[in-house]
Amino acid sequence: MKSIALGLSLLAALTALHATAAPAQPNLVIIFIDDLGYADIGPFGATKQRTPNLDRMAREGMKLTSFYAAPVCSVSRAQLLTGCYGARVSVPGVYFPGQANGLNPAEFTIAERLKERGYATMCIGKWHVGDQPEFLPTRQGFDRYFGIPYSNDMQRKSTQTGERVVPLLRDDKVAELLTDEQQSRIVERYTDEATGFIRANKDKPFLLYLPHTAVHTPIWPGEKFRGKSANGRFGDWVEEVDWSVGRVLDTLRELKLAERTLVVFTSDNGPWLIKGADGGSALPLRGGKGSTWEGGVRVPTIAWWPGKIAPGSVCDAVAGTIDLLPTAVALAGGTVPAQPVIDGRDLSPLLFGKTKESQREAHYYFAGYNIQAVRQGPWKLAIAAQPRSMGQNTDPDASGNAPRLYNLDQEIGEQTNLAAKHPEVVAKLQSLAAKMTAEIGGKEPAARRPPGVVENPKTLYPTEDGAPRGKQAKQAAKTDAKTPAKAASLDSLKPGDALDSAHAPQVSGKPFTITLTVETKQRDAILLAHGGLAVGYALHLKAGRVAFLVRTGTDAAFTEIIAPSDFTGSAAITATLAADGSMALKIGDEPAVTGKTGKLLARQPQEDFCLGHDNGMPVAAYTGKGAFQGSIKGLKITTR
């Protein structure tokens, strides 16, 4: 009998020891909002839109007030998925539909690391790290996928429906084609999928990655939320996102999963400031989306895990999306291998209140492959020019490469340059930036891994490739899809039309001249635009005068020259970018105005060529917001 009792006691002790050594693996839910600014939810200062569920989440969890993403969509998602800066995995910026590049399937994602630990995995929402089959979620560690695979403004004209649409995928197949208005149910549909996945996997550990399409433009809140906020349709959509968060958390509570589930709510980048009322707010931070100012990359973040994370706690230590993968692996009982190298670190000591110190030596602010700033503790050193936001120019105090040092604890708004007072801090941070540049930045990095590349890429659904998209009749779309459009073909375009990049004038590394005749009574309007944050050019009316602007490469501020006299309602316009980077703008018989951007466009703009509008990421912040009213004739773009 004693031996039996001893055996039972030993078994009980071993069982208890095993339970102590190997606690149940927690679930992980990552709610990733698109273009949500630092001040766009209640816990971070919003007052015009109500976010009661996020308010409660913050009261029950932790606010992370120095949590970083990246300046723009695709690189931000790659960083979360891989635990690496985008420069390390060759994801520098934004991908477009039908593009050959994407997140290399050889990279290990958070989903793949957790699948190794027995997790069920699902991605619901905006994927945006490549839309070719090889790059989709089900090839990158996710069991299931449901969502729009890129930004909701990347519509293409379907040959099937004749409408500009985005695809809604189920796993790796197009399930539906959505018009803009049909996006008004997307938050509701994502939420239904999310709660369904939680219920289906309540008895096993799971990863739910929920990157919402909201609140990226175009703004389409659900019918029940329209007109409910005090901040227009943008605020309405934020309130719907808050409702979605509430449903996810309520489902976890109902199923008694809250005490074994870490939920992280955050954003992919700062607000798109040039969108005005359809953008958001990063105050009191400086800058917005597309920049490496705090307002472009520091995002509102809440971590929630009842019984594990102290309620009402606040963490101001530097952390970011690159830390989520190693945190998840550690909580699941694993260890991230030493190879391939990642940049993130386990955040659990911060989340559980065991330390207040950042788990990384420094944080690096990349724009494309170039480091624009580095932060260590309270100190942030900017080492390159920093545009205010996507589509906006660079302020005089942020131009050039002279070091600018800010103490973010003393002044979160980055206004006072302390470089002259703290040369030792400047030197230390410059050394860190140089070391990281040598490793993964610049043109000759030692440890950058290759991008994902496929041959013969195509869009996920048949589109009118090469056809002007908009008001022009279909018979104008008989261009060979393998041949770039010639300048002469532009003459038939009408305001509101667009050409995809492959069929637009090919201006990469080439001098070019734009000629056209414009008639309009408008004082502010977009005449033509081709490009975005990285490279591009545009002609527009600005306070009654014609302006020609050129953006020559990633990180470059645009150069703009403006006619000295008011536009009289009708005139021939000639704009030139010469081989030496000099610019000229001539209106009718007036003398030309000149300027110099210094070089030609570094690559072909990937955005659409647009006449009378700009349907994507704008080249700059235009003063004209509505549709062009008038006529544009005789359009030609010649290259040499």
- Name the β-bridge partners of 631: 519
- Per DSSP, helices labelled H in 227-345 are 232-254, 294-297, 324-331
Catalytic residue among 73, 123, 315, 610: 73
In angstroms, the CA 451 to CA 448 distance is 9
DSSP 102-142: E--TTSPPHHHHHHTTT-EEEEES---S--SGGGSGGGTT-
Q: How many CB atoms lie within 10 A of CB 524?
A: 15
Neighbours of 17 (CB within 10 A): 10
Amino acid at 560: E
Cα separation, 108 vs 110, in Å, equals 7
CB 584 within 8 A of CB 598: no
Q: Is 128 a catalytic residue?
A: yes
Query: What are the start-end ranges of the H helices in 339-479?
Result: 348-351, 423-440
Q: Tokens for 516, please give them.
A: 């056209």
Kindly give, in sequence order, each residue whose CB lies less than 8 Å from that of residue 189, ignoring residues fewer than 6 positions away. 146
- Spatial distance between the Cα atoms of 62 and 78, rounded to a whole number of angstroms: 25
Quote the tokens at residue 294: 């705090």
Q: If 0-12 CB within 10 Å is exposed, 13-18 middle and 19+ buried, where does residue 117 land?
A: middle
Active site residue 212: no
If we measure between CA atoms, which residue out of 423, 510, 498 comes closest to residue 467? 498
Q: Could you give the CA distance from residue 184 to residue 112 in angstroms, rounded to a whole number? A: 32
| DSSP annotation of 62 | E
C-alpha Rg value of the chain to the nearest Å: 26
DSSP letter at 536 equals: E
Task: Provide φ and ψ at 350, rounded to 5°.
Answer: -75, -45
Structural contact between residues 236 and 228, judged by C-beta atoms closer than 8 angstroms: yes
| Angle between helical axes of 73-82 and 324-331 (0-180°, round to 10) | 30
- Euclidean distance between CA atoms 214 and 184, whole angstroms: 10
SS3 content of the chain, % helix, strand, coil (to 5): 25, 25, 50
Report the Cα 411 to chain-centroid distance in Å: 26
Catalytic residue among 18, 84, 123, 128: 128
The CA distance from 189 to 202, in Å, is 20
Q: In what order do the strands lie in the sheet with 404-407?
A: 363-367, 370-376, 379-382, 404-407
Alpha carbon 216 to its chain centroid, in Å, reads: 9
Is 468 within 8 Å of 476 (Cβ atoms)?
Answer: yes
Catalytic residues: 73, 128
